[in-house]
Structure 1
């Protein structure tokens, strides 16, 4: 790490140890007491945000604000993943706000930035990104069916979205909505993005969807847009820019998600090691069982391999930009790898915790639910694997590959026929 990154790493670690971990009990007690249908933020989070601001641990994800590269920020995102419910928001680096702030920073007008980006950067409001739809395969943004029809100085929006993270939080004030503005255009120019205040007439948040029975504090919502009228000036960029904006938005955000996933995996491994050193079965600590040692070794290997791949993807974006082919393929690689690694390590940790592992007494079940869902959001594993395979199939052969592939094996003499 650079000297700057090392300094942030040390300060963020101290913040986690001194303030975030001790706040977890109060956070979850508040969530339980309020029940699954109350999405107000526990007050302890606002207290943590004040401390983070005072310590300069704020908006670290945005290079234009923090001065950190993607590679420098990656280990910091990993640290926040140790307490994924609390830490990312405490330092104003939580999804979907991070992606929305990046989008506004890159594509919004000055007026749009002043109205929405500034309060988001200050942590005064929250936001949501409305792309996914229940009726189509939304992993391909060109499938989006929500309509955005120009009517004079306004657009009229009709459609149904779901899994809109953050929309249940009463602090959520703005939605970035993706819809179809021109069904006759080329497939990648049919979609646009527009800013829709949550309190606009016709915006109906119908429910918050649970993840494996868990209701997140900020919610994952189904939203109906019923003749929603917003000014044409709310459009981001130009008509038809929606697909390109979506692609620009997702690259760094996927790296952030993946690094947080590795932080959760590190926490699971730490809990696993602590458990097996203390738990005795069949006359000796679990740590002395060969199958347990193998689980620990596999977990360490997988985490370290995934971390290096994630750092490579972050470095490539820093060097070549988010739109380069290399960056896109490497982001696809890490998005397919990191959530699976987190699930693997969490599953092993749950196993050595026995019945406690699937209970609320440990964070493992909740973390597993979130990271299993991560294999679907921001594109399912299969879509990313398709991207990786297409890149491999489209590569020009290296001199070594060309040489071995050019060999005609049909002319070789099989060893069994020598001497006949």
Structure 2
């Protein structure tokens, strides 16, 4: 894979750390800014909404700019709003910075995904996606726990300063690694497609279908990931320090998952769906059944991280393939699918917390969402994941 892809992954790491780090900082932010914990929790929702809305808007705004200028601009905006967040004493201002940061994050990822398609051969989009998403998975392994420790020792503002500093090598990598005039269109795509033509791609059934499936699988992933802490401490009876261990295991599994998907999703997407999908469903059922057993919990969290990201990244890679006719907007469609799932999964899961399912309600929700995805995907597997050499249009 080209070096520029790995440099882009550094920026994705910084942004992924910012996206996930807030989970452990909400109580401190609430106390510092004199708001309720519930109100402080809106910072997470604001980021998710900014990601969903920001992906297509930022991609449309940047479609006529050189890729390097767009990526650099998004990284710098992301850094500046974190500096503002670190300095502000106003919750309203902090809330606005999260929305702007999410928009910059979404824009960067959308442009990066589209740019990645021009840096690799036309049949290696899955591998390119895996490299970019590795930045997110490493963020869950190292960035998020590191941010939590930094916030505990030096206060929540220190984590915002750390993210801003992480953006500097990311910006340097964009300047040095991305060619000034890198093409924005794959070799088999018309070079001058209008915005209307690119948006019209959303009327294609196969593109809409793989976006839906990607959103469902990602919703299942984040339904449980968001509420792992009470499962660890209350259901399994482990100490609070084990929460970080479980998050690291999940992140390690996700890294393995995107790595495996990078090797298989280009040539054997149907196999990943047919094998990984049922195994993922069985894993959620096993986790809901055995979560009270610490050893089983630790093992299954790693396994589910692996399967969730292997299947999810394969489906998102299919989005990039099916959106080949939208060379500047295709990355935003993939980003939107990812974040619709990330935003909706926890909302559905939260509704189960007051039921008889209690802390395990989110895990059952994950199983249900994967079941829905499989009921759609398995009968249509040849349609959504054509064999190598078979026309995909």
Q: TM-score, normalised by structure 2?
A: 0.35
Q: Which has the higher strand share?
A: 1
Q: Flag the structure with larger Rg.
A: 1
Q: TM-score, normalised by structure 1?
A: 0.34
The structure whose RCO (Cα within 8 Å, separation 6+) is larger is: 2
